[in-house]
Structure 1
C-alpha cells in the first residue's frame, strides 16, 4: 500500500521522532511503499503567501507552488500523520501543509455548491501524537487536533476510510515505562492498520 507519512517535529532526537521511526519501520516491514515526508527536514514552508491566497480557488493554478506535495498526496492510498500537539493545535508546519496543499480541486471539490471529498484515493488515515497535558485538559479544550483528523480531514477522503487516532496524553509527566508502552501500542496498531 502506498503510504504518505507526514512528520512534523523539528528535533531529530525527540520522542516524536522515535514514534515516526516506529511508524515507518513497522509499515515497511509489512511491505508497504512509504513516502516519508519529514516536513522540517525537507524545508517545507508553512506560509500561505498573498498570491497563493488570491489564487486559492483558481484550480488551474492553485497547486503550482506546492505541486510536488500535491502529487505525493494524490499518489497515496494511506496517510499517517506523526506530530506533537502544541498549544492545543498542530505544529505550524503541519497546519501550513493543510493550508497550502489541501486545496480546492485537490482535497475537496464543489458539486452543486456543496463540498464533496476529492481524496478518495486515501482509504486509511492515522494520526500518532503526543499531548503535554492530560486527556481531561484536552477534552475541556475541545481537543481540536483529534476533531480535525476524525471529522474534516477524514471527510475529504474515501467515504469508508479506516481511521485511527493514537495519542499519548500527559507527555510532560510520562515516565520511560509509559513512553515505551505507547511506542508498543503504535507498533501494534500499525501492524493491524
Structure 2
C-alpha cells in the first residue's frame, strides 16, 4: 500500500508545489512508496459531461484518467490533498476530481440513512491548503467550507475518517520565515 498525493495547483512555481516537494522529499528520505496525482499536469478534465452523467448512476465512466486514478486509490493507505483555497473553497479541478472519480460502488454505496463510504482501507488522510486570508478568518465566515463541506461531508461520505487539516494563511502577503516555518510543520507530519 502506498501514499497517494492529490495535487491541485496549476503553477509549479507556487508555494503549493514547495509543499508537494517537501512531502515527497520526506517520503523518499523515509523510503516510503508514494504516487502523485497531479490534476493539472495530467490535463484532467473536471467537467462532468453528459456522457459521464449517463453512466454516473451505474458507477461507471469512459474517462481513462478516472479509471487510472481509481486504480491508484485502490492501493492507497494514506491520502494527501494539497491545494490552494480559492474563493473560500476547493479549486474547480479538485471538485471535478471528487465528482468524477468518487463514483458509486467505488467510493460509496447508497443506504437508507445516506452514504456508506467504501474507501475505508485508507487509514490516514491529510488536507494541506494555502489561503490568502488567515486560517482564523476562514472560520469566521459562517462556517469553514474546507472543514465542514470537504472534510466532514465529502471525505467522510467516501469512508475517510481520520482527516488532519493544516492551512497556511496569508501565503502571498506573508513573510518568507512564516512560509519556511510552515514547510517544517509539513515535514514533521511525515
What TM-score, normalized to structure 1? 0.89
Aligned length: 186
Structure 2: give runs of 5+ residues left out of the alignment: none
Asked if 1:71 is matched to 2:71, the reply is yes
In the alignment, which residue of structure 2 is the partner of 1:14?
14
1:67 Cα deviation from its structure 2 partner: 1.0
For the structure 1 residues 33 and 149, does the alpha-carbon distance in structure 2 shift closer, same or farther, using more than 3 Å as the test? Answer: farther
Structure 1: give runs of 5+ residues left out of the alignment: none
1:105-124 matches, within 5 Å, as 105-112=105-112, 114-124=114-124
Question: Which ranges of 4 or more aligned residues in structure 1 deviate by more than 3 Å?
Answer: 111-114
Q: Do 1:133 and 1:172's aligned partners in 2 also have CA atoms closer than 8 Å?
A: no
Q: Secondary structure at the match of 1:68?
A: helix
1:1-193 matches, within 5 Å, as 1-59=1-59, 62-65=60-63, 66-112=66-112, 114-141=114-141, 142-152=143-153, 153-157=155-159, 161-190=161-190
1:104 Cα deviation from its structure 2 partner: 1.0
Segment of structure 1 superposing worse, 103-112 or 146-155:
146-155
Q: Distance in 1 between matches of 2:29 and 2:68?
A: 26
Q: Do 1:79 and 1:125's aligned partners in 2 also have CA atoms closer than 8 Å?
A: yes
Q: Distance in 2 between matches of 1:136 and 1:34?
A: 32
Computed over aligned residues only, the root mean square deviation of the Cα atoms, in angstroms, reads: 1.6
Q: Distance in 2 between matches of 1:29 and 1:63?
A: 37
Query: For residues 90-149 of structure 1, what are the alpha-carbon distances to aligned partners after superposition, in whole Å with 9 as ceiling and x for unaligned?
Result: 111111101110111111112456421111111110011111112232112222122234
Q: Secondary structure at the match of 1:51?
A: helix
Segment of structure 1 superposing worse, 14-23 or 143-152:
143-152
1:157 Cα deviation from its structure 2 partner: 2.4
What TM-score, normalized to structure 2? 0.90
Q: Distance in 2 between matches of 1:4 and 1:148?
A: 21
Segment of structure 1 superposing worse, 39-48 or 26-35:
26-35
